[in-house]
């Protein structure tokens, strides 16, 4: 497989990935990457340093552990002995397991890796034909996720040539896409005790009325629309109030911080509002016709979007319900 075909496979994988609906890192995700490495040969091998260009595909066995296959082709390597300055060609195919530190929601994820590789090169100094070598590899580096799907990587690999009993190095960078995974389903919320029924007021002639109100404020993680487990109790309190006063209706309003485009944030705010509406209707039994959902994107901040703390407050869904009762 030449370099053109290798890059074609990687680019094709990126295009296919971008057309899929469920994109997220985590267990079950597939990861494709294009990389370039600087290959630093052992000084006793009589070869110059060169470049390794290629791609890889991996699968996340857990949220933190992935298993990947890689393939790259060597460029710009030449022999450095008395036989002449020959152009050395070949390829390297590898299988590596990678452990990622940090959580799925963190942008910066350091990693360590270990695996094996097979090298196939020609025109090796002082040898004839092609040279086949087996490597044991270890590596470390860091990935930066621009969002759940796209990342850049920088790393350093130590490569021990078992057949030649020598150690070589490869330092490189890559860009990749991560798709097909998703967050694990949230565990069922712990049962919440129903509020004590309000005492019936003593009937009086022309009794004055009192307005009572329940407010809801659900916070979301960055670039997420999944309702967190700790928010279920507050949502249930709103549902209990609406079920107690069947004449009430509400609109759940979704909001985002200022990160991202207006169009993307508008869609994300609608997804957040619909996620809270689904919990009210499907899990706590509020009739669907009594709950509306609306998204306002980043247009209604309640805190400063210039700080992390302010953006966390703005990633929210709000709702309120009012009812009149007799005093």
Indicate the helix (H) or strand (E) that contains 316: strand 316-326
Which domain-ending residue is among 161, 179, 197? Answer: 179
238 three-state secondary structure: helix
The pLDDT of 245-256, averaged and rounded, is: 92
In a domain, 283, yes or no: yes
Residue 75: strand pairing partners: 51
Q: Based on the domain organization, do 231 and 281 belong to the same domain?
A: yes
Contact between 225 and 217 (Cβ < 8 Å):
no
Extended strands (E) in 12-149:
30-40, 50-60, 65-75, 77-78, 87-88, 90-100, 108-122, 130-145
Contact between 152 and 144 (Cβ < 8 Å):
yes
CA–CA gap between residue 114 and residue 226 (Å, rounded): 34
CA–CA gap between residue 39 and residue 160 (Å, rounded): 13
Q: Which long-range contacts (CB under 8 A, 24 or more apart) does 203-208 make?
A: 207/326, 207/327, 208/326, 208/327
Q: Say which CATH number the domain at 217 has.
A: 3.30.1330.60
Query: 127-170 pLDDT, tens per residue?
Result: 556 788 899 999 999 999 888 788 999 999 999 999 888 899 99
Q: Based on the domain organization, do 153 and 213 belong to the same domain?
A: no
Name the token pair of 42.
């052992």
pLDDT score for 7? 45
What's the structural domain count of the chain?
A: 2
Task: Count the neighbouring beta carbons within 10 Å of the beta carbon of residue 199.
Answer: 6
pLDDT at residue 243 greater than cutoff 80: yes
Q: Based on the domain organization, do 216 and 174 belong to the same domain?
A: no
Instruction: Output the DSSP codes for 80-100.
Output: -BTTB-PEE-EEEEEEEEEEE
Name the token pair of 43.
């000084």
Q: Which residue has the higher pLDDT, 85 or 254?
A: 254
In a domain, 102, yes or no: yes
Output the average pLDDT for the chain. Answer: 83
The pLDDT of 187-216, averaged and rounded, is: 69
Indicate the helix (H) or strand (E) that contains 168: strand 166-179
Q: Which domain holds residue 296?
A: 209-326
Backbone Cα Rg of the chain = 29
Q: Based on the domain organization, do 147 and 249 belong to the same domain?
A: no
The pLDDT of 216-242, averaged and rounded, is: 92
Pairing outcome for strands 209-219 and 316-326: antiparallel
pLDDT score for 127? 53
pLDDT score for 1? 46
Query: 166-185 pLDDT, tens per residue?
Result: 899 999 999 999 877 655 44
Please give the share of the chain, as a percent, with pLDDT higher than 90: 52
Distance of CA 296 to the CA centre of its chain: 24
Which domain-ending residue is among 139, 159, 179? Answer: 179
Q: Which residue has the higher pLDDT, 214 or 187?
A: 214
Q: Find the distance separating the first CA and the last CA of the chain, reported in whole Å.
A: 82
Q: Based on the domain organization, do 172 and 232 belong to the same domain?
A: no
User: Could you give the dihedral angle defined by the CA atoms of residues 157, 163, 165 and 167, in that order, rounded to the nearest 10 degrees?
Assistant: -10
In a domain, 187, yes or no: no
Indicate the helix (H) or strand (E) that contains 167: strand 166-179
Closest CA to 319 of 227, 245, 216: 216
CA dist 28 → 59, 85, 133, 177 (Å): 7, 47, 32, 14
pLDDT at residue 315 greater than cutoff 80: yes
CA–CA gap between residue 252 and residue 275 (Å, rounded): 10
CA–CA gap between residue 23 and residue 145 (Å, rounded): 13
Q: Based on the domain organization, do 59 and 127 belong to the same domain?
A: yes
Q: Say which CATH number the domain at 123 has.
A: 2.40.160.20
Report residue 77's pLDDT band, with 50, 70 and 90 as the boundaries: confident
């Amino acid at each position: 497989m030449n370099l053109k075909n290798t890059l074609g496979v990687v680019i094709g994988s990126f295009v296919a990935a971008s057309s899929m609906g469920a994109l997220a890192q985590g267990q079950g995700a597939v990861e494709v990457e294009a990389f370039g490495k600087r290959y630093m040969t052992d000084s006793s091998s009589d070869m110059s340093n060169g470049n390794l260009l290629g791609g890889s595909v991996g699968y996340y066995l857990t949220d933190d552990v992935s298993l990947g296959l890689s393939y790259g082709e060597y460029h710009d390597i030449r022999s450095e002995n008395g036989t002449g300055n020959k152009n050395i060609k070949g390829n390297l195919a590898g299988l590596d397991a990678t452990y990622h530190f940090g959580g799925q929601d963190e942008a910066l994820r350091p990693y360590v890796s270990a695996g094996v590789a097979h090298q196939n090169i020609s025109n090796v100094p002082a040898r004839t034909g092609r040279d086949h070598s087996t490597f044991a590899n270890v590596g470390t580096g860091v990935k930066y996720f621009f969002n759940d799907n796209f990342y850049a990587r920088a790393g350093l690999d130590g490569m021990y040539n078992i057949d030649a009993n020598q150690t070589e190095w490869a330092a490189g960078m890559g860009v990749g896409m991560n798709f097909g995974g998703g967050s694990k389903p949230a565990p069922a919320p712990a049962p919440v005790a129903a509020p004590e029924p309000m005492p019936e007021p003593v009937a009086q002639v022309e009794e004055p009325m009192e307005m009572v109100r329940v407010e809801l404020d659900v916070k979301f993680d960055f670039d997420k629309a999944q309702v967190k487990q700790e928010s279920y109790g507050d949502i249930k309190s709103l549902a209990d109030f609406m079920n107690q006063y069947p004449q009430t209706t509400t609109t759940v309003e979704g909001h985002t911080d200022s990160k991202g485009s207006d169009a993307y944030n508008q869609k994300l705010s609608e997804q957040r509002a619909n996620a809270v509406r689904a919990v009210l209707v499907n899990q706590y039994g509020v009739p669907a016709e009594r709950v509306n959902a609306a998204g306002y994107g980043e247009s209604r901040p309640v805190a400063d979007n210039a700080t992390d703390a302010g953006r966390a407050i703005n990633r929210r869904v709000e709702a309120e319900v009012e009812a009149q009762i007799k005093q």
